[in-house]
Amino acid sequence: MQCQGTLDLVNKGFPKFGMSQAGAFVAALKNYNLPDFILVLVAKECKSDLLERGRIDDRLQSMNDESLELLHRVFVGCEEDAAGKYAQYRFYAYVSSMYHKCEVIVNDSVPGETGKNHKVPVAVKNNGMYIAIAYNKATGNPVNKKEITRFYDMVDDIKKGDHGTMLTDGIYGSSVNFRGDALVELKTLSESRINDPENMLNFKTANFENNIYSVTKC
**Structural domains in the chain plus CATH codes:** 8-76 (no CATH), 100-217 (3.40.1350.10)
**Residue type (1 letter), 79:** E
> Residue 212: pLDDT band by 50, 70, 90 thresholds?
confident
pLDDT of residue 138: 93
Distances (CA, A) of 26 to 22, 46, 72: 6, 16, 9
pLDDT of 7 over the 70 cut: no
pLDDT of 167 over the 90 cut: yes
Quick: pLDDT tens for 98-116: 998 899 999 999 999 999 9
Quick: pLDDT tens for 25-78: 999 999 888 999 999 999 999 999 999 999 998 999 999 999 999 999 999 999
The phi and psi torsions of 130 (rounded to 5 degrees) equal: -70, 130
pLDDT of 126 over the 90 cut: yes
pLDDT of 186 over the 50 cut: yes
pLDDT of 200 over the 90 cut: no
Mean pLDDT of the chain: 88
pLDDT of 5 over the 60 cut: no
d(Cα 99, Cα 37) in Å, to the nearest integer?
14
pLDDT of 218 over the 90 cut: no
- Per DSSP, the residues of the chain read -B--PPPGGGGS-PPTT-HHHHHHHHHHHTTS---HHHHHHHHHHTT----SSS-HHHHHHTS-HHHHHHHIIIIIS----TTSHHHHHHHHHHHHHHSTT-EEEEEEEEE-TTS-EEEEEEEEEETTEEEEEEEEE-SSSPB-HHHHHHHHHHHHHHHHSGGGTT--EEEEEESS-B-HHHHHHHHHHHHTS---GGG--EEEEEEEETTEEEEEE-
pLDDT of residue 210: 78
Percent of the chain at pLDDT exceeding 90? 73
Q: How many CB atoms lie within 10 A of CB 104?
A: 22
pLDDT of 17 over the 80 cut: no
Q: Crossing angle of helices 36-45/85-98, nearest 10°?
A: 160
Please list, in sequence order, all residues whose beta carbon lies within 8 angstroms of the beta carbon of residue 96, skipping any fewer than 6 positions away. 35, 37, 38, 102, 104
pLDDT of residue 19: 57
